[in-house]
Amino acid sequence: MDQQILRQYLYDHIPLSQAMQVDVIDAQPDGVILTAPLPPNINHQETIFGGSASAVAILAAWSLLHVRLQHEGISSRLVIQSNTMQYELPIAGGFSARSYLEPDADWPRFLRTLARKGRARIAVTSVLEYGGQQAGKLHGEFVALAPEAP
């Protein structure tokens, strides 16, 4: 998927992404990279607000599934079911979130389950990077719902 298309989709459908000035660096079926600058995401310590860091990590993970499903030609509604976020280093400037499927994720099984049951769950990881170092990590469980599913 083209980076500009994904960026505009996020801005149109998840307005917080525009307020946070999220940018799309890469949008491929094997990984998505988003970035965000410090100024709109700053906290009282002049570092990235934890909620902003978590939001960008979730957006990167969600975007990966969106890109993969679009690549497969599958329409669905994607929601996050649960996540854990580890903050490893303070982030004092622009940062990135790189998402990927968990090593044990079974994409073909996920697609079969979605087609058969109208819903499927899969794990995605996003790694936050700042200054060439890993600054945090999100593990999220996402659910895809068929458009007509309740």
Give pLDDT tens digits along the chain (150 positions): 799 999 999 999 999 999 999 999 999 999 999 999 999 999 999 999 999 999 999 999 999 999 999 999 999 999 999 999 999 999 999 999 999 998 889 999 999 999 999 999 999 999 999 999 999 999 999 999 998 755
Return the SS3 of 67.
helix
Q: What is the pTM of this model?
A: 0.95
Q: By the 8 A CB rule, do 126 and 57 touch? A: yes
Structure tokens at 29: 């079926």
Please tell me the CATH superfamily of domain 3-145, with its number: Hotdog Thioesterase (3.10.129.10)
| Domain range summary for the chain, segments of one domain joined by + | 3-145
Q: By the 8 A CB rule, do 129 and 98 touch? A: yes
